[in-house]
Chain A
Amino acid sequence: NAGVMQNPRHLVRRRGQEARLRCSPMKGHSHVYWYRQLPEEGLKFMVYLQKENIIDESGMPKERFSAEFPKEGPSILRIQQVVRGDSAAYFCASSPPTSGRGGELFFGEGSRLTVL
């Protein structure tokens, strides 16, 4: 029973390049969340998606960042024209439909982006 799978685990980009981070949720999970974590800090919410829908993107920077969760395939977090401040660990989490009941998020191992 595979958990949340993220790739790449480590990614190095130069300023101005694009970064694409992928996340496959746990089997049976239809909700995906992306969080960013700077060193020694907590998790900051970025975006919440269901299949083919962005439910809440209130934590996403307005420019350069986008996310999708297509009908087929993994969720993708895309960062265009990366800058040094984008260097962080990006965690994906998934959950099943909870209908308002308790349902924890299951996290992937994270993708660590380093911008040179």
Chain B
Amino acid sequence: GQNIDQPTEMTATEGAIVQINCTYQTSGFNGLFWYQQHAGEAPTFLSYNVLDGLEEKGRFSSFLSRSKGYSYLLLKELQMKDSASYLCAVRDRAGNMLTFGGGTRLMVKP
């Protein structure tokens, strides 16, 4: 089975940096994904990690440590539009299905 934990809520200031952590315990592992979801909208893909290390994509970066079962999403130069839920998801070794954590609601304040 899969167990994925992430903080429920976070608040940060416009222009700042925020790190959203995700820990997981899985029976198998075949990649970790981060999605962004604005209220009432579809989740959209942000990043994918399957090997240890940091993946950078513009203002967003994602880090993975497989030995620790740990990932984080780093958001730089926060903008008001970054206020959303951020979902951590793990794919098991068997197939394509993703298991999602409960999501972290990020509020960016002026």
A residues contacting B by CB (< 8 A) are 4, 31, 33, 35, 40-45, 48, 55-56, 91, 95, 98, 100, 102-110
Contact = CB atoms under 8 A, between A and B. Distances in A.
A48 B33 CA distance: 18
B87 A107 contact: no
Nearest to A104: B45
Given A102-B48, A109-B42, A41 B102 contact: yes
Nearest to B44: A107
Contact of B96 (A31, A43, A91): A31
B54 interface: no
B23 interface: no
A110 B43 CA distance: 10
Contacts of B43: 43, 91, 107
A43 B35 CA distance: 11
Contact of B87 (A42, A48, A110): A42
A103 to B, nearest CB: 7
A95 B95 CA distance: 12
Nearest to B4: A42
Interface string B28-56: 00110101000001111100101000000
Contacts of A110: 42
Contacts of A108: 42
A5 to B, nearest CB: 11
